[in-house]
């Protein structure tokens, strides 16, 4: 990750970045933002002239580079920061990382009245937009050097009082680092990534962060009755796992369980997916990646909240040992489901984890994140997750955190009259009801496993926003790490 430093008096000022914003009256040219350490008067005059000559607007994310041969600084960057909301600063940071990707060190003069929140958002934008996924090096393809820079090596932020912003910068660093981890996990091809690989990738990091790590292998899963995880993972030569992380600080009063769907590849199983629909299914563990990464982040922030995180990990394959449509699966705790479609596998592994959480962990709240249905994108498009909860206060609190974090979710209903669609003749539930809205009925299926905690539960179908189909603001083409930022905003509310 690029280095970000807070200073009052920069040694180096080339290239120099000046924030600009729209003038109050939309007809006028934008203006320089008043900064803590103003540039020399001639430079400010020159920059002001450039604002009109270059026809800038000052909107967040606008960048303009001026070359000044033989003068200092030799490069002047004007950076639009819009109205200065946190979202604007995040966009500005992302745009700045891209515009100065080949620089070694850039210096940005920060507004005199900048808030720590805005500074943190700027840092997140810089760190998240300069992310790039790299395959592990091989003999034929050694680790790539800096041939294709993703951002400047160092960003110096000039502020009046660095001390005031250190905490926010540290939180932004943890948030960005863990979001990047979730992206790395999700981008990794399934030729490398299997349930055991995921566990081994996380274990050392989790232990270093002070988390307790418990891993159940197939024998243990069978002994304890995790029938959903075993059914879905049964078709793969690479067996399933249940990864459990625990963060249990002494000062915690609330215990939250986070559950993430961890299908390391989803072929659809015997109800096989059409070829185009299968290509991206290495991302079907983005929910597990997000909850695990957020837990590492919570530990790094030393949040005074008890967190138990469950990642049911399995590969949904087509083989002679795969589970079949029509099979009846017995989930943890005894509820049974009739498999109507082996491609509705995520809810089967989540059901086990949710039932286990409720009966064995005694949580106050349960949250699950899952790339659960294609219907999420049908309903809400490619950028917005579907949030479900029976509790208005819980839902509103979570949505506020999602919004503040710069992610997107929209609440969808859990209508009582769709519940009968779940009833099967030979089991307690159909895994995928034949009627109703796909994302909604998947959520209703999961709710059946919450027992007494159904009002203390949040579910996000994040199939759509888990992936970006191009670079956009702080998102980079590929895995987005959706959910890590939202969770790290929301978890402190529980303290
Ligand atoms: N992993 C998919 C959902 C998905 C689709 C995620 C597209 C991301 C992008 C999930 O396991 C699935 O296949 N769901 C089925 C459910 C259906 C069989 C009831 C779907 O959405 O078609
Ligand atoms: Mn599926
Ligand atoms: Zn799936």
Q: Are residues 110 and 246 in the same domain?
A: no
Question: Is the same domain home to 108 and 188?
Answer: no
Q: Ligand 3 mean position to 127 CA, how many Å?
A: 29
Q: Residue 142 domain-assigned?
A: no
For residues 193 and 238, give the distance between their C-alpha atoms in angstroms, rounded to a whole number: 10
Q: Cα–Cα distance between 52 and 74 in angstroms, integer? A: 20
pLDDT digits (tens, 9 = 90+) for 412-464: 999 999 999 999 999 999 999 998 899 999 999 999 999 999 999 999 999 99
- Number of compact structural domains in the chain: 2
Does an H or E element contain 109, and which?
strand 105-109
Structural domain includes residue 141 = no
Boundary residue ending a domain (91, 125, 160): 160
Binning pLDDT at 50, 70 and 90, where does residue 136 land?
Answer: confident
User: Is 408 contained in some domain?
Assistant: yes
Q: What is the DSSP letter of 81?
A: -
Residue 479 domain-assigned (yes or no): yes
Does residue 341 have its Cβ closer than 6 Å to ligand 1? Answer: yes
Verify whether ligand 1 is closer than 6 Å to residue 461 (CB atom). Answer: no
460, part of any domain: yes
pLDDT band at 19 (very low <50, low <70, confident <90, very high): very high
| pLDDT of amino acid 370 | 99
Check residue 468 and report its DSSP letter: E
**Residues 221 and 99 both lie in one domain:** no
Q: Verify whether ligand 1 is closer than 6 Å to residue 325 (CB atom).
A: no
Phi and psi at residue 124, to the nearest 5°:
-60, -45
Whether 171 is covered by a domain: the verdict is no
Which residues have CB under 8 Å from 224's CB, separation 6+?
216, 332
User: Of residues 148 and 68, which shows the higher confidence score?
Assistant: 68
Residue 69 lies in a domain: yes
Tell me, what's the pLDDT at 147?
A: 56
Query: Which distant-in-sequence residues (6+ apart) come within 8 Å of 168 by Cβ?
Result: 116, 117, 119, 120
Residue 117's CATH number: 3.40.220.10
- Rounded to 10 deg, the angle between the 346-356 and 438-447 helix axes is 30
Ligand 1 touching residue 374 (CB < 6 A) = yes
Question: Is 118 found in the same domain as 263?
Answer: no
Q: Is residue 283 a contact partner of residue 371, using CB atoms and an 8 Å limit? A: yes
The residues assigned a catalytic role are 273, 347
Confidence of residue 389 (pLDDT cuts 50, 70, 90): very high
Residues 156 and 187 in one domain: no
CATH number at residue 206: 3.40.630.10
Cα of 115 to ligand 2 centre, how many Å? 44
Domain of 155 in residue numbering reads as 3-133+150-160
Q: What is the mean pLDDT of the chain?
A: 96
Answer yes or no: is 145 within a domain.
no
In the reported structure, the alpha carbon of residue 439 is separated from the centroid of ligand 1 by a whole-number distance in angstroms of 9
């Amino acid at each position: 990750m690029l280095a970000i430093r807070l200073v009052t008096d920069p040694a180096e000022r080339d290239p120099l970045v000046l924030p600009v914003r729209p003038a109050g009256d939309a007809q006028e040219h934008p203006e320089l933002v008043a900064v803590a350490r103003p540039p020399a008067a001639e430079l400010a005059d020159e920059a002001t002239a450039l604002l009109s000559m270059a026809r800038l607007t000052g909107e967040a994310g606008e960048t303009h580079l001026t070359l000044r041969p033989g003068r200092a600084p030799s490069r002047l960057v004007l950076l639009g920061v819009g109205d200065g909301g946190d979202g604007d600063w995040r966009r500005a940071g992302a745009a700045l990382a891209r515009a100065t990707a080949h620089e070694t060190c850039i210096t940005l003069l920060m507004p005199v009245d900048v808030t720590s929140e805005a500074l943190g958002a700027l840092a997140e934008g810089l760190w998240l937009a300069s992310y790039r996924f790299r395959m592990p090096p091989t003999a034929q393809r050694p680790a790539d050097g800096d041939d294709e820079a993703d951002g400047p090596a160092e960003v110096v932020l000039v502020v009046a009082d660095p001390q005031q912003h250190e905490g926010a910068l540290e939180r932004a660093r943890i948030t960005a680092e863990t979001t990047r981890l979730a992206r790395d996990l999700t981008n990794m091809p399934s030729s490398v990534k299997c349930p055991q690989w995921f566990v081994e990738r996380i274990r050392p990091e989790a232990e270093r962060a002070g988390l307790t790590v418990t891993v159940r292998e197939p024998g243990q899963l069978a002994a304890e009755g995790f029938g959903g995880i075993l059914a879905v993972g049964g078709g793969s030569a690479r067996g399933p796992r249940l990864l459990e992380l625990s963060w249990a600080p002494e000062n915690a009063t609330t215990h939250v369980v986070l559950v993430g769907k961890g299908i390391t590849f989803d072929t659809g199983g015997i109800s096989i997916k059409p070829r185009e629909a299968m290509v991206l299914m290495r991302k079907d563990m983005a929910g597990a990646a997000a909850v695990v990464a957020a837990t590492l982040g919570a530990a790094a922030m030393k949040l005074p909240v008890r967190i138990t995180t469950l990642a049911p990990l399995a590969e949904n394959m087509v083989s002679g040992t795969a589970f079949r449509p029509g099979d009846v699966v017995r989930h943890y705790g005894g509820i049974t489901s009739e498999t109507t479609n082996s491609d509705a596998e995520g809810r089967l592994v989540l059901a086990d984890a949710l039932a286990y959480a409720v009966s064995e962990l005694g949580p106050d709240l349960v949250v699950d994140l899952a790339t659960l249905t294609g219907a999420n994108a049908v309903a809400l498009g490619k950028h917005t997750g579907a949030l479900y909860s029976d509790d208005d206060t819980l839902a509103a609190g979570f949505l506020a955190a999602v919004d503040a974090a710069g992610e997107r979710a929209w609440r969808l209903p859990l209508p009582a009259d769709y519940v009968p669609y779940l009833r099967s003749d030979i089991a307690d539930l159909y895994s995928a009801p034949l009627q109703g809205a796909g994302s909604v009925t998947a959520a209703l299926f999961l709710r059946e496993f919450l027992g007494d905690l159904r009002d203390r539960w949040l579910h996000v179908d994040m199939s759509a926003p888990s992936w970006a189909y191009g670079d956009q603001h702080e998102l980079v083409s590929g895995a987005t790490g959706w959910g890590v930022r939202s969770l790290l905003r929301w978890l402190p509310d529980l303290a």
